[in-house]
Amino acid sequence: VAETLHITGHTRAEKYAALIPQLRALCAGETNRIANLANIAAALRQTFGFFWVGFYVVRNSELVLGPFQGPLACTRIASGKGVCGTSWKEKKTILVPDVEQFPGHIACSSDSKSEIVVPVFDAGGAVTMVLDVDSDQLNDFDAADQKYFEEICAWIGTLDHGDER
Ligand code: SME
């Protein structure tokens, strides 16, 4: 697979439709989790220009920063803390139109204005990581973004990441 994205279309829906099959091709046959998550984060940032895109991976009793694209971020988040820890604890997507209105939001950057966090589940239904996408604009994510991010995270949950580290 050539490591080049070909994104046609102008609307986000068109871009998701172009991107998702290319993500699948990019990760097919690669069993290293860091490698796949790194390319997924890069592809999402490159396609949409989001302010911050990345993964927090469940490790023991915390979320630990994984592959990401964007400014420096905090490295560890406890269950129930911030948007990421809440998504993990409640095992569901959290869409935050205005981070200042979210109690306990962890401000890694004051430029982050809205965000969405989507959990990835293993076959047993446990959360293995979360995808965090942040925008420097208020109210940047809607139900359509949520649908596509959930589709991407459901697919990530099916990847063979036997070569995890
Ligand atoms: N805002 C997140 C923390 C992670 S960063 O923004 C990259 C949260 O509240 O969980």
Phi-psi region of 41 (alpha: psi -120 to 50; beta: other; left: phi over 0): alpha
**What separation in Å is there between the alpha carbon of 107 and the centre of ligand 1?**
6
The pLDDT value given to residue 107: 86
Q: Please, where are the H alpha helices in the chain?
A: 12-27, 33-48, 82-90, 143-158
106 lines ligand 1 (CB under 6 A): yes
Continuous segment of H or E residues that includes residue 160 = none
The pTM (predicted TM-score) of the whole model is: 0.95
Q: Judging by DSSP bridges, how do beta strands 76-78 and 114-121 pair with one another?
A: unpaired
| Listed residue (106, 111, 103, 116) closest to 145, CA to CA | 116
User: What are 73's two structure tokens?
Assistant: 């971020």
The pLDDT value given to residue 2: 57
User: What are the residue ranges in the chain where pLDDT is below 70?
Assistant: 1-2
Give the atom of ligand 1 at the shortest distance from the alpha carbon of 56.
4
Report the 10 Å Cβ neighbour count for 95. 18
Give the atom of ligand 1 at the shortest distance from the alpha carbon of 77.
10
The pLDDT value given to residue 39: 97
Over the stretch 86-113, which tens digit does the pLDDT of each residue have? 999 999 999 999 999 999 888 888 899 9
SS3 93: coil
